[in-house]
Each structure stands twice: as structure tokens, then as C-alpha cells.
Structure 1
């Protein structure tokens, strides 16, 4: 009897629950939302994502292209250095070996045996601690701690912690913690916690707790949802642009610093190599003069990474804008060549012309014109003075000869020789 009464009571309770009026159901389950607004927000987000993903791809390509261009340039310069040093070592070895054989014939007596042996050791590039050995090992990129080895490792993208390795990784979206890795992730709607992930979710009506989900479920009115999502997307775009600006600035700074550091290292390497060459030859010639008298005429070594070299009075010139060949005429930076040859120049912006004077000589030259004058007399040119990468370039032969210098061209070495003395 008690069980029957308990059962009846429970059934009565269930009956009471089943008759709760529909008006008492929470609005979250009876929302009447505008699907058009949902679609509008979704479209707006997708346009935003496409815009910044596109920017990211453009920025990545630009940065990668810049990296590849410099990588090719610096490794091309290393190959040039290798070739020049190998040729020079072969030249010196051949020259000095020929000299040794000549001396051995002249001084064949036993009294000169020790001096000849000492000379032979110093000119042997394979004799450890010898003068030419020091030069040879300093040039050897595979000889650890050599001058050239340091340069070779720093431009090697696979050598951990090298300058080129760091530069490469900063541009690598797959290298954790790099600038490009951070940039890529922030633009990725699937990367948890990223800015694009946040905007994607806020715009998604099916993402629990998002602005558009709350609107769909009736927890936000249309006006509230529009105001909130509008602010989120506007602020979000500002954040995306800020992220992009920061990433691009970081990549450009890495590019600039790496180029400066590796170019400086390249130039330092060249100076050290040339200094070691001079020291080695001085030691060899000192020994030769001490025991046999006299010396040898040895060609100087010029190391330049420009396609065309300019040597004035035996000194290799360096220019911010390298010389170029236009229709068989070598053009060099105007101001640099005038000043190096001892001329004083003045620039006329209105005429886009330059007047250079040295002693009793006055040269007038106008950009784009093939009719310069020397002391008022026309001196026609085959090619005019012109702008190359924002630098005013002038024909080196005309300028040099007009200022009283001798000019010669060596085709094989692509070198202009100028003598002012």
C-alpha cells in the first residue's frame, strides 16, 4: 500500500513538471537571430583573413628573395676570393721555385747549402711554419682558425650560430621562435592563441562563448552583437597590422645587419690575407737578400668583388656603386673619380650638370648629354653621363684623360689602370 502511494506521488510530480508553460523557457533556447548578420560577419572576417594572409605571403616572398639574393652574392664573392687566392698561390709558388732553382745553380757550393735549404723551406707552401705556408694556410677555408675559414663558416647557413644561419632561420616559418615563425602563426586561424585564431572564433556562431555564438543563442541583441563584433574586428585589424609592421621591421633589420656584418667580415678577411701575403713575402725577400743579395719583382695582388676594377697609381679603388660597362665604355661614380683624381667639383641642380676643375683644366658635363666640354672645347662621348642606382656615372676614360692621366684597359682582368704620375 505504501509503495503504491509513493508511485502515485512521483507520477503526480512528473505531471506537474510536464505542464510548465512555454513562456518560462530561457530565451537562449528560443532566440530569433538574423542569419544574414551571421553571414555578413563571417564574410567580413574571411576578407580580413585573406587580406593579411596575402600580405604575409608577399612579405615572406620579399624577405626570402632578399635572403637568396644576398646568399648568392656573398657566396659568389667567396668563390671569387678562392679563385684569386688559388691563382696567386700558384703564381708565387712557381715564381719562387724557379728562383730557388736559379739560385741553386749559381750557389752550388757547400757554403751556401744551409742558406739554400732555409730559402727552400720558406718558399714551400707545405712546410709547416714556413713563410709561404703561413700565407697558404691563412687562405685555406678548410683550415680551422684561418682567416678564410672564419669567413667561410660565417656565410654558411648550415653552420650553427653563424651569421648566415641566424639570418636563414629568421626567415624560416618552420623554425620555432623565429620572426617568420611568429608572423606565420599570428596570421593562422588554426594556431591556438593567435590573433587570427581569436578573430576567427569571435566571428564563428558555433564557437562556444564567442560574440556571434551569444547572438545566435539570444544572449546578445543584434545591436549589442554588431557593436561588439565591429569593435573586435576593427581593433583586431589594427593588431594584425601592428604584428605585421613589427615582423617586417625585424626581418629588414636582420637583413641590414647581416649584410653589414658579413660585408665587413669579407673586407677584413681580404685585408688580413693581403697583410699575411705582404709579411710572408717580406720574410722571404729578407732571407734572400741576406744570403744571396737582390730581390724579385713580384706582381701585386688585387682583390675586388666588383665585375670591373679600377686601379689608380697601383691602388685598387672601391666605390659604393660599382663601375659598369655601357656599350664598351666603363662608367664610374662621378664624384668619387673626380675627387680621387684631384679635381674640385660643383653641381648645378637646375642644369643637372657638374663642373670639375684641376689646375688650369675645367670640365663641364651634363647628365644625359654626349657633349661635354674641356676648357670650352666640345669633346663628344659615345655614351652620356647617366644615373645608375641613383649614382651619377661618367665615362672613366674621358674624365681621366681630360685631367691629364694615362688610361689603359685590361680585357682579361676587366680592369682599368689609371696613372696620374
Structure 2
């Protein structure tokens, strides 16, 4: 309860009593007049520095998370465009090939005895004939066909498709989406957000906030020593809490990013596998019908779907690498360990020498990182481009494979594909 001093002056004039009452003075204001303004300013400065620090950290974290999201969004959608182009081109080529075949069969077996067989074959090779063999492939690759294989993948990478993986990833990075990681993080760093950690620290440091430490000091309710002790603990503990909030938010965002990339990459690969299986199934169905009625089969080129700029095919099988091939100064470099082990060689790494030794049967291959002088059974096999590390993977010129293990290697510039034959 506030205490007041009232000064009453009694003046007797001409037999009259005149009472004059002075202005009311708050005792706390008297105390307040003695507070140390430099201390108040020091606390205010400390808080402002704390707020600025975590405001900048939040902005930096948000920028990084947004850039990471945007990069992956562009990557996965670019891969979908590649997939679209490949399967649409493939369907068009298959339809033309089979249509030409149908025309030739019609010319050859145009008699009435083959009419039903020709009609059945025509239906199966028509991509627009419902339930036909080629129609099954056409619908599987169509991202706009409800519940198709490609439709499911397209929706999961769509940030506007509710509950999709990309939708969830996008919202976790959105400070305006209620309940998201970035929303919580943003609010905790906001001194104007009710109940936020930063607001509590600002209020404790504010000489005008009722109940705050510095307010109690200003009005004389606590001593300078007590104020220093309390505000130091408040700000020290508060900074620790802010850092914990930041660490948790960054960890949560990183986990969402990694989980999303992992799941969508796996879904992409599963989608490709399913599309290729449907293609194989459709062609087998068509060829079975053709062989049954007309004899023989058509030779159809395999469809190669890869999202690496440079592809490697060993004995007709597309390879997948953790570190894909790269083009360095006009030379194609491939991951040595992955390919050599695929070819049956045993690889060992010498960390001291920074060298790799590969052994297959009676053949021993030795090379050092940065060297253009690898050896095969002790005989030098000079290279134009040295072996080098790319993202911690030993990469060697593709020609080195043929010169070391005797495989037949060819390069197709148009499709950016390395073909390796061991047989």
C-alpha cells in the first residue's frame, strides 16, 4: 500500500481559518529519484544485444532452411520433369513401333481368318483403349490419371497437396503456419508475442513493466545489489533457454528435411521401378498375343531412367551410385570402388599414402590420389587426368577401367552414358 505525506498549513487571517493542502507526493517516487540510471541503461543495452543476436540467428536459420527447401523442391521437380519426358517419349515411340508392326501384319495377314486376331492385337497396342496392354502403361505414367503410379509421386512432391510429404516439409518451414516448427521458433524470438521467452526477458528488463525486476528496482522495492543479482540470472538463464529453443528448432527442421528427402527419393525410385515393371508387363502381354497368332516377337529397346547427368550401364544394367559420375575438364570420372567391386575386384585404401589398391584374380591395380601414373601389375598406365577425391569418393577416368581390368568401355556423348561390358 502506498504511503503519503500531507503537509497542512494553517493560516489565521482576519479571524478566518484557511487550510492549504500541498500536492500529494508518492514515497516511491522519492526512492525512484535515487536509482542509478547508468545501471538501468546497462541492463537495457544487454537485453537489446540479446534480442538482436537471436533475431539475427533466427533470420539466418530461416534463410538457410528456406534455401535448402527451395533447392530440394527444384531438384525433385526437375527429376519429375526428366521422368515425364522419358516415359512420354518412350510411350510415343512404342505406339509408333507397334502401329507400324500392326500395319505390316495387316498387309501380310489380311485374310478373314486373321481378322479377330488383328483386331485383338490392335486393341492391345492402342494406348487409348481401356484395359488394353499399352493403355495400362500409358495410365501408369500419366501423372494426371487418378491413383496412377505417377499420380501418387506427383502429389507427394506437391507442396499444395494437403498432407503430402512436400506439403508437410513446406509448412514446417513456414513461420505463418500455426503450430509449425518455424512458427514456434519465430514466436519465441518475438518480444511482442504474448508469453514468448523474449517477451519475458524484455519485461524483466523494462523499468516501466509492472512486476518486472527493473521496475521494482526503479520504484525502490528492491536494492541495486538485489536487482543486479536477479536480472543477471534472468538474462543468463534466458539466453540459455533461447539457445535451447534455437537448437531444438534447427534440429527439428534438419530432421524434417532429411526425412523428406529420404522418403521422396525412395518414392521416386519406387515409382521408376513400378513404371518399368508395368512397361515390361505390357510388352510381354503384347508380344505373347503377337507370338500366339502371328509368330515371332519385336525387338524393343530397353527404357533407361536415370536422374544422374552421367549414367553408367554395366552389362545392360543401370548403376546407382552414392557419388554419381562427374565431368572434370572434359574427362568423365567414375567412382572407382563402386565400379571395381561391381566387376569383382577387392578394394583397399591406404590412408597414409592416400592410395587405392584393387585386386581381381592375378591383376593388381595401384593408384594414388592426385597421380597420373597408376600401375597394373607394376606396369604404368599414364592418365591425362589424375585420380581425385570428390565428396570423399575416389574418382578415376572411365578409360582407366578398361586399361586395368580389361572391361570394354564406350562413351555415348548424346545420352551422356558410359557402357561397360565384361563379357
TM-score normalised by length of structure 2: 0.93
Q: Quote the offset at 1:21 in angstroms.
A: 11
TM-fit CA distance, 1:331: 1.1
- Distance in 2 (CA, whole Å) between partners of 1:302 and 1:14 is 109
Q: Which residue of 2 aligns with 1:365?
A: 367
Contact conserved, 2:201 with 2:235, CA < 8 A, in 1? yes
Partner residue of 1:298 out of 300, 304, 325: 300
Query: By how many angstroms is 1:391 displaced?
Result: 1.4
Counterpart secondary structure, 1:30: helix
Q: Verify the 8 A CA contact 2:102 2:118 in the aligned structure 1.
A: yes
Match of 1:417 in 2: 419
**Does the residue aligned with 1:241 lie in a helix, a strand or coil?**
helix
Q: Is the 8 A contact 1:401 1:407 kept in 2?
A: no
In 2: Cα distance, 1:27 partner to 1:42 partner: 22
SS in 1 for 2:333: strand
Q: Deviations over 1:88-132 (max 9, x none)?
A: 101111111111111111101000000001000000000000000
Q: CA deviation at 1:183?
A: 0.4
Aligned to 2:180: 178
Quick check: 1:26 aligned with 2:22?
Answer: no
The alignment partner of 1:193 has SS state of coil
Could you tell me how far apart the structure 2 residues matched to 1:65 and 1:393 are?
Answer: 29
> 1:340 is matched with which residue?
342
Alignment map for 1:20-419 (pairs within 5 Å): 26-27=27-28, 29-31=30-32, 32-419=34-421
Q: Report the alpha carbon displacement of residue 359 of structure 1 after superposing the two structures with TM.
A: 2.2
From the superposition, tell whether residues 275 and 216 of structure 1 become closer, same or farther in structure 2 (CA, over 3 Å).
same
Q: Return the alpha-carbon distance in structure 1 between the equivalents of residues 72 and 28 of structure 2.
A: 63
- Secondary structure of 2:356's partner? strand
Distance of aligned partners of 1:401 and 1:126 in 2 relative to their CA distance in 1, 3 Å threshold:
farther
Indicate how the Cα distance of structure 1 residues 20 and 116 shifts in structure 2: closer, same or farther if over 3 A, else same: closer
Pick closer, same or farther for the CA change 1:26–1:300 going to 2, 3 Å.
same
Aligned length: 407
Q: Tell me, yes or no, if the aligned pair for 1:352 and 1:366 is still in contact at 8 Å.
A: yes
Contact 1:341-1:400 at 8 Å conserved across structures: no
TM-score, length of structure 1 as denominator length: 0.94
Gaps of 5+ in 2: 1-15
- SS in structure 2 at match of 1:384: coil
Q: Distance in 1 between matches of 2:185 and 2:24?
A: 54
**Runs of 4+ more than 3 Å apart:** 12-15, 17-22, 25-30
Q: Report the Cα distance in structure 1 between the residues aligned to 2:376 and 2:28, rounded to whole angstroms.
A: 94
The answer for the alignment partner of 2:4 in structure 1 is none
Distance 1:30 1:376 in 2: 92
How far the C-alpha of 1:18 sits from its partner, in A, is 4.6
In structure 1, C-alpha distance between the alignment counterparts of 2:348 and 2:200, rounded to whole Å: 60
| Shift in Å, 1:396 | 2.1
Give distance in 2, aligned partners of 1:419 and 1:392. Answer: 22
SS in 1 for 2:410: strand
Deviation at 1:20, TM superposition (A): 12
Checking the alignment, whether the CA contact within 8 Å between 2:313 and 2:419 is kept in structure 1 is yes
Report Cα offsets for 1:306-361 as digits up to 9, x if no partner. 00000000000000011101122211112101101111122111111111122222
> Could you tell me how far 1:46 is from its partner in structure 2?
0.4
Task: Tell me how far apart the structure 2 counterparts of residues 345 and 78 of structure 1 sit (CA, whole Å).
Answer: 35
List gaps (5 residues or longer) in structure 1.
Answer: 1-11
The separation in 2 between residues aligned to 1:21 and 1:35, in whole angstroms, is 25
Q: 1:275 to 1:19 in 2, by over 3 A?
A: closer
Question: Take 1:129 and 1:377, find their aligned partners in 2: how far apart are those partners?
Answer: 61
Could you say what the CA RMSD is over the residues aligned between the two structures, in angstroms? Answer: 1.7
Give the corresponding residue for 1:9.
none
Contact 2:381–2:403 (CA<8 Å) still a contact in 1?
Answer: no
Higher helix proportion:
1
SS in 2 for 1:257: helix
Separation (CA, whole Å) in 2 of partners of 1:67 and 1:318: 24
Deviation digits for residues 191-214 of structure 1, max 9, x if unmatched?
Answer: 111000110111111111111111
